[in-house]
Amino acid sequence: MKSYLVEIINNTSDKLEYLKEVDYKISVPNQNAHGDYSINAAMLLSKKLNRNPREIAQEIINNIEYDINIISKIEIAGPGFINFFFNPLFVVRIINDVLSDPMDYGKLDNFKGKKANVEFVSANPTGPLTVGHGRNAVVGDTISNMLEWIGYEVDREFYFNNAGRQMRVLGDSVKKRYLALLYDDTEDFPEDYYQGEYIIDIAEELKNEFGDKLIEESPEGIFKQRAEKNIFADIENTLDALKIKIKIFFNENSLYEDGKIDDLLSKFKEMDISYENEGAVWLRLKEMGNEQDKVIIKSTGEPTYRLPDIAYHTTKFDRGYDLIVDIFGSDHNATYPDVVAALKAMGYDTEKIKVVIYQFVTIMEGNEKVKMSTRKANFITLDELINEVGPDVVRYFFIMQNTTTHLNFDLELAKKHSDENPVFYLQYAHARISSILKVTHEQGLKLSTQNLELLVTESELNILKKLSIFKEEILYSAIQFEPHRIAVYLLELAGLFHKFYNECRIIGSENKLAEARIALVTAVQIVIRNGLRILGVTAPEKM
């Protein structure tokens, strides 16, 4: 529908030059009475042309050439909207479109041939993934899916650091637990060490395997290595449970081994965007328009996180991506501008970088907030959550809300009333259609697109209209990086279907109508299934 509209308006602007000078918008009105599409061009032009907007609208309409079989009516409404009413006989063709490509309907090729890198999760192997990581993981994977649906080839990437202070503390935490197990020692365990049960599990494993042979081993040896190995295995299992497949695990350490860090430092020096002061190396961020200069090499000689972060991003550019997406929690919102500024100063096209900052997840246990800290181990792991409510609910819950808003996750509610989760409403629509198709098939009814014009009730037309904006919705959601829109769209479509279900029957209707309705619900099922695929949520045949 929309492409036809764009076409006829473009043709019109050859006659009315002023249409080319205005950035008008084609929108879907929220009331049926306002047509299928609406444009606001006349109102925007009013001032420029110093004319009454309704008068301009009339002139535009007079100059539009269109096929009456496609558009049945164009009218001026309100302050100067031009509303387009499509002919239901044309709208109904959306069913043919959907049915012609059941597996992939909704896929677009707007960005075909482009490569994207989406970095997400990026948790260091110091403990199991938390619920906070869950939002990151689901947002990242869903955005990756959306980008794939609009044509990108996407690499899902996980960046981690298995060196540094955190990891030393991790190794030492394991060793302390190991010694405590051997000597049945209840000696005080340092408060700033990793407190979680999983540390004891690792220590126990080592004790069973090696007995007391590790007493003299360095904490950074087998203790750290085993901890990293086990924790990483856990992380991958958890992601697997959410059906997330990471393609590239990028080790920060490789940046040092490859000499990327040294190269970067000399480049900074060469370009004079770094300087030394009080024994540390600073980056001239203030000159780049940021708040203040920041340290990249401490006076101890150790780099701060910024240096490898910048080096890491240069590799993303060097690897030839057209789009570089970073998924960060809001606690990182102050860090990425420094990275971007440095890259820009070095001449990289930072327009390619899109940083998605999602707000925090607050876990509520009834009325009580649960503070999350890997170190303190008073967190609920993502694994536990998945076990409680299942991967579909977890994925849907994390994606149904705009990433810009806080997510209140009431565990009691999620556990107790999980069957009231909106995801079931959506899945139920899909399962219901499966059931309808099964029963109608048994009755000898077939799908037919021969008499789609019989679909005329309001609930049927509303569904057709909704189906026909599916692709627009995917494109818009993807380029805006707003995965929740897909969830909202599907919920609305499911709602329209449930309404139809209660108003229109298939079995019992005249054969031609029944078969047209089968085509309709099949199309709905395809769109719901494909939409759920983007969200990584299953579409059950039965509930």
Question: Hey, which residues between 476 and 535 contact RNA (CB under 7 A)?
Answer: 476, 482, 484-485, 488, 491, 495, 498-499, 501-508
Residue 458 near RNA by CB under 7 A:
no
Structure tokens at 301: 């000689």
* Shortest Å, Cβ 231 to RNA: 15
Please give the single-letter amino acid code of residue 264. Answer: L
> Given the complex with RNA, which of 189 and 424 has the nearer CB atom?
424
Residue 436 near RNA by CB under 7 A:
yes
* Shortest Å, Cβ 379 to RNA: 14
Give the SS3 label for residue 255.
Answer: helix
How far, in Å, CA of 455 to CA of 524, rounded? Answer: 14
Ranges of beta strands (E only) in 184-266 are 248-251
Task: List 409's β-bridge partners, or say none.
Answer: 363
Give 99's contacts (C-beta < 8 A, 6+ positions apart).
447, 449, 519, 522, 523, 526
At residue 149's C-alpha, the angle toward residues 143 and 153, to 5°, is: 80
Pick the piece of the chain touching RNA (CB under 7 A) from 232-240, 257-265, 287-295, 346-354. Answer: 287-295
Residue 34 near RNA by CB under 7 A:
yes
Residue 102 near RNA by CB under 7 A:
no
How far, in Å, CA of 37 to CA of 87, rounded? Answer: 12
Residue 186 near RNA by CB under 7 A:
no
How far, in Å, CA of 368 to CA of 352, rounded? Answer: 41
Residue 248 near RNA by CB under 7 A:
no
Burial of residue 352 (CB within 10 Å: 0-12, 13-18, 19+) is middle
Residue 4 near RNA by CB under 7 A:
no
Strands 407-410 and 81-86: unpaired
Among 27, 32, 387, 511, binds RNA (CB under 7 A): 27
Residue 28 near RNA by CB under 7 A:
yes
Task: List 251's β-bridge partners, or say none.
Answer: 160
Query: How many residues form the binding site for RNA (CB under 7 A)?
Result: 94
Among 4, 210, 425, 481, binds RNA (CB under 7 A): 425
Among 11, 62, 266, 405, binds RNA (CB under 7 A): 405
How far, in Å, CA of 219 to CA of 321, rounded? Answer: 39
Among 108, 280, 454, 461, binds RNA (CB under 7 A): 280
How far, in Å, CA of 198 to CA of 67, rounded? Answer: 68
Residue 145 near RNA by CB under 7 A:
no
How far, in Å, CA of 519 to CA of 451, rounded? Answer: 10
Question: Hey, which residues between 297 and 356 contact RNA (CB under 7 A)?
Answer: 298-300, 302, 304-305, 329-335
Cβ pair 163, 124 in contact under 8 A: no
Among 145, 195, 314, 401, binds RNA (CB under 7 A): 401
Pick the piece of the chain touching RNA (CB under 7 A) from 238-246, 262-270, 378-386, 401-409. Answer: 401-409
Residue 457 near RNA by CB under 7 A:
no
> Given the complex with RNA, which of 31 and 208 has the nearer CB atom?
31
Please give the single-letter amino acid code of residue 481. Answer: F
Residue 164 near RNA by CB under 7 A:
yes
Residue 388 near RNA by CB under 7 A:
no
Question: Hey, which residues between 75 and 94 contact RNA (CB under 7 A)?
Answer: 77-81, 83
Structure tokens at 13: 């602007």
Among 144, 238, 434, 462, binds RNA (CB under 7 A): 434
* Shortest Å, Cβ 189 to RNA: 20
* Shortest Å, Cβ 484 to RNA: 6
